[in-house]
Amino acid sequence: MISVTEMMGSPSSLFSAYASIMASTMLFRSILNDLLPKPVRSFLVNVFHRLFKCKTNKLTLVIDEFYNGIARNQIFDAVEVYLSTRIGPNVDRLKIDNCSNKKVISIRLEKNEKVTDAYQGIELDWKFLSVEQESNGGQQRDMSTRSASGGGNTRRSFELSFQKRHKEIILTSYVPFIQERAKEMKKKERVLKMYTLGGLRNGRSYGVSWDAINLDHPSTFATLAMEAEQKTAVIADLDRFLTRKEFYKRVGRAWKRGYLLYGPPGTGKSSLVAAMANYLKFDVYDLQLSNVAADSDLRDLLVGIGNRSILVIEDIDCSIDLPDRQRAGKESSGKNSNTRPQLTLSGLLNFIDGLWSTCGDQRVIIFTTNHVEKLDQALLRPGRMDMHIHMSYCSFHGFKILAENYLGISEADLVRCHAGVLAEIESLIAGSEVTPAEVAEEFMKSEDPHVTLDGLVKFLSNRKTKTKKTEENGGMVRAKESEMANKSTEDM
């Protein structure tokens, strides 16, 4: 009778045979890698997988975070919100967060976690994937954390698996159900976001991208030190914009609105932006053009902006020296035509009202400037900046709003208890050229209304005196210049 050892050979002979096979395999693989180009090898591997792939009744839908690698996939966002309500006891790892103005903790799946759902008796298996893709052609490696704003070379996706026979129900009923449910949840737990330029993940640079923080700015139209007529006009314009989706579609225009806020520093331009965001319930994207190197980077950023959002470019006159279209054309045709791409005025204009401006709905674009006369006229025409809002010095009406905000004194209380000081402030504030920010700073100095109002009177008196002297000196300089000009003319 032949023993097992005799049939299989000794352990040393088995190990020698195994080593010989592995060495032959490695040699054959090395020869293939040297002789066959990478595309050919990939094609042969795919053919091999297709030939020997086991038939299955399961269908898997892949839902990537970005559509075509540029625009955000709204289905991904909806699934992320929806699955937070479907987390069962079998899930081992979760991500949670909370902020000061949220009543509940936000729960999200961690990478590679699975969730089971059911819809109309159909069993559905969900899996969340997060993979970092090396841009230099290296191997992929999982990434445990990922900013919700996107950016970088990380691919995040959800996979949904189910029986193939249920495909129609899933696509026509289940997916729309998820989107509607997520919309209701977002509306209920709405927290406004402020997006700023980022680009660093774990100490590594991934290029320009958006980073988000919660927008907790308390400014509202009720607290703004603006003239009542101007405030009413802005609110009416915003309301009209929100309700005109079909109108914009019918006339062939992108559903967006442009505002130019101009005036001296401290007149409330940033507060007005925050008030508009709180009124519309829109997220804010704060874009610093000085950090954008080229038109292509600007395109990626603007396409990544979500719907129902406000894009703010503050101090547009001094954010960056944008080459105008004529100068850019001369440079491109001259000796320096091989220089690296740059951000240009024509590129910015194209993203404001060109073809790229249609990549999104319900968007508000706001430019702010202290010097409107310095802006290129191409930025100011209707269709780009539809409404120009002059943020001027503090008026008597603005003073009364600030007094109520900071001192808790209504207009009736001002008239009843501080009539003498009130009349003095009304006469002084008209020609003092004082900003709402300066008046607010005076209100911060004391909680006693009498002390605060007396201090404001002194401040306004000093400011009016300085303003008068400045105007007199300016008049003398202009008169002297005119006299010298006339004398030169007579000498000629």
Q: For residue range 51-106, list pLDDT tens digits in order.
A: 666 667 899 999 998 877 667 788 998 999 899 888 878 888 888 876 555 556 77
Q: Is the pLDDT at 309 greater than 60, yes or no? A: yes
Q: Edge-to-edge, what's the strand order for the sheet holding 256-262?
A: 210-214, 193-197, 283-286, 309-313, 363-369, 256-262, 387-390
With CA atoms as reference, report the closest residue to 313 among 341, 284, 293, 342. 284
Domain count, the chain: 3
Q: What is the pLDDT of residues 240-274, one digit of tens each?
A: 999 998 998 898 888 999 999 999 999 999 999 99
With CA atoms as reference, report the closest residue to 77 among 14, 136, 148. 148
pTM: 0.65
181 and 208 housed in the same domain? no
Query: Which residue did the predictor score with more confidence, 330 or 269?
Result: 269
347 and 271 housed in the same domain? yes
255 and 299 housed in the same domain? yes
Tokens read off for 191: 């927290």
Q: How far apart are CA 104 and CA 81, in angstroms?
A: 13
With CA atoms as reference, report the closest residue to 363 among 288, 294, 276. 276
Q: How far apart are CA 234 and CA 279, in angstroms?
A: 11
Q: Which residue range is the domain that position 460 belongs to? A: 396-486
pLDDT classification of 485: cutoffs 50, 70, 90: low
Q: Residue 172: count other Cβ atoms within 10 Å of its Cβ.
A: 9
213 and 352 housed in the same domain? yes
> What is the four-CA torsion angle of 7, 13, 16, 22, rounded to 10 degrees?
10
Q: Residue 376: count other Cβ atoms within 10 Å of its Cβ.
A: 14
What pLDDT was estimated at residue 474? 59
Q: How far apart are CA 188 and CA 182, in angstroms?
A: 10
234 and 161 housed in the same domain? no
Cβ 318 vs Cβ 272: under 8 Å: no
Q: Which whole-number Å values give the CA distances from 326 to 19, 28, 162, 321, 345, in the listed order?
A: 71, 61, 58, 14, 10
169 and 214 housed in the same domain? no
In degrees, rounded to 5, the angle at the alpha carbon of residue 464 between the alpha carbons of residues 458 and 466 is 105
378 and 257 housed in the same domain? yes
Residue 472 in domain: yes
pLDDT classification of 344: cutoffs 50, 70, 90: confident
Q: How far apart are CA 374 and CA 391, in angstroms?
A: 17
